[in-house]
Amino acid sequence: MGLEALLLAKIKLVKEERAKKEILSEIQQELQGHASDFARILELAERGKVIRIIQEQADFPTAHNAYVEWKERRPTNITTGFQTFDNLTDNYDYGEIITIMGRPVTGKTFCALNILERLLNQVTDKIGFFSLEMSKAGIIERMMQLFFGLSRWELNRKRLVNELDEEKFFEKYGDLNIYSRIYTVREIEKLVERDGLKIIFIDYLQLIREDYGRGLYEQTSAKMREIKELAKNKEVVVFLMSQISRKGEGGWTPVTIDMARDSGAIEENSDFIIGIWDPYLEENVGQEWEGKIMLKLIKNKRGVIRAIECNRDRSSGKLYELEIERGCLIS
């Protein structure tokens, strides 16, 4: 098969609504270069990633009107539910990315589900949860643990004897969309458009699929750029879970911003980053850390960073911020 035939075959598989002629034009420009990059040519063919002239009004009065409208509209009411953080960041706005970073077993998913549970009480926006790691059944079970305040074992026992009011659970979570396949960022974008989502949770970054081969650093950087494009162009708030590097040891070491795994693009493209670690995972640590977990706002584009100590119900996964009760902050 010749190069042109190969590229045409690839283009037929493109799911994006891009004009094939426009894609071919981009490819031809690349072929005419002094040093054609065949990998990039295949990327263009496979993904339909083309450079287009965007019809955007860029004059200053339009920008100023956007500012006035932004200030006059009601706040989004999109927060984490952790009062210390929310006091420092204010409500999150559409187009922003909040990344939760930690080692495995530190509770990133449960942290996200705590935020989600609180959001369901205060926003009317359509929310989607992309559980790339767990099945729909598995993520529903964790949501039920939080809602009913029960361990997995207690939850199953009460279901068997019909002691759970699942109607109340459905009443709270019934408008939530849950996706459990492994998607590319572009596929997530299509689902955001199709289902009218304004807030999305992605669990987690490293599991987002890539359609073409390249190094891990380049993959992660590309995915973060695409997530930022998704957040801004579709005006959605993104809560993104991400693994950290082995600098975080077994999950008991305080998370720092340089622990972002595989790429500095995580730090660059996130508007806010929350690190999560569990001191009790360390061998021979004091009993005072049992049932506690640490969260730290390690990037805040609006200013101050701060850590908080939380009680964690290890059965249900419920998190309670201790600093608010004590009336003090941890620096």
d(CA 295, CA 105): 14
In a domain, 301, yes or no: yes
DSSP state of 31: H
pLDDT of 57 reads 82
Please tell me whether residues 38 and 87 are part of one structural domain: no
Say yes or no: 82 and 202 in one domain: yes
Q: What is the pLDDT along the chain (331 residues), one digit of tens a residue?
A: 566 666 666 555 554 444 566 777 777 777 776 666 666 666 666 655 444 556 778 889 899 998 898 778 778 899 999 999 999 999 999 999 999 999 988 999 999 999 999 999 999 999 999 999 999 999 999 999 999 999 999 999 999 999 999 999 999 999 999 999 999 999 999 999 999 999 999 998 999 998 666 788 888 888 999 999 999 999 999 999 999 887 778 899 999 988 887 778 899 999 999 999 999 999 888 888 888 999 999 999 998 899 999 999 988 999 999 865 444 443 3
43 and 80 in a single domain? The answer is: no
Question: Is 107 in the same domain as 198?
Answer: yes
What pLDDT does residue 10 have? 58
C-alpha distances out from residue 173 to 176, 212, 261, Å: 6, 36, 32
Structure tokens at 152: 């997995």
Asked whether residue 119 is assigned to any structural domain, the reply reads yes
What CATH number has the domain bearing residue 299?
Answer: 3.40.50.300
For residue 2, the model assigns a pLDDT of: 60
Flag whether 134 is in a domain. yes
Instruction: Give me the pLDDT at residue 38, please.
Output: 67
Whether 11 and 150 share a structural domain: no
If asked whether residues 167 and 300 sit together in one domain, one would say yes
Q: In this structure, is residue 331 part of a structural domain?
A: no
Please report, for residues 2, 26, 41, the alpha-carbon distance to residue 33 in angstroms, rounded to integers and kept in the order given: 19, 11, 12
Q: Are residues 34 and 138 in the same domain?
A: no
This prediction's pTM: 0.81
Predicted pLDDT at 203: 94
Q: Does residue 69 form part of some domain? A: no
- Between β-strands 292-300 and 306-312, what pairing exists: parallel, antiparallel or unpaired? antiparallel
CB atoms within 10 A of CB 170: 10
Do 261 and 242 form a contact (C-beta atoms < 8 A)? Answer: yes
Whether 138 and 175 map to the same domain: the answer is yes
**Looking at the 3D structure of the chain, how many domains does it have?**
2
Residues 80 and 200 in one domain: yes
Query: Is residue 223 domain-resident?
Result: yes
Q: Is residue 66 part of a domain?
A: no
Helix (H, G, I), strand (E, B) or coil at 218: helix
Q: Are residues 11 and 85 in the same domain?
A: no
What is the domain extent for residue 28?
3-47
d(CA 222, CA 39): 15
188 within 8 A of 200, measured Cβ to Cβ:
yes
207 and 304 fall within a common domain: yes
Supply the pLDDT for residue 328.
40
Task: Tell whether 267 and 209 lie within a shared domain.
Answer: yes
Q: Is residue 71 part of a domain?
A: no
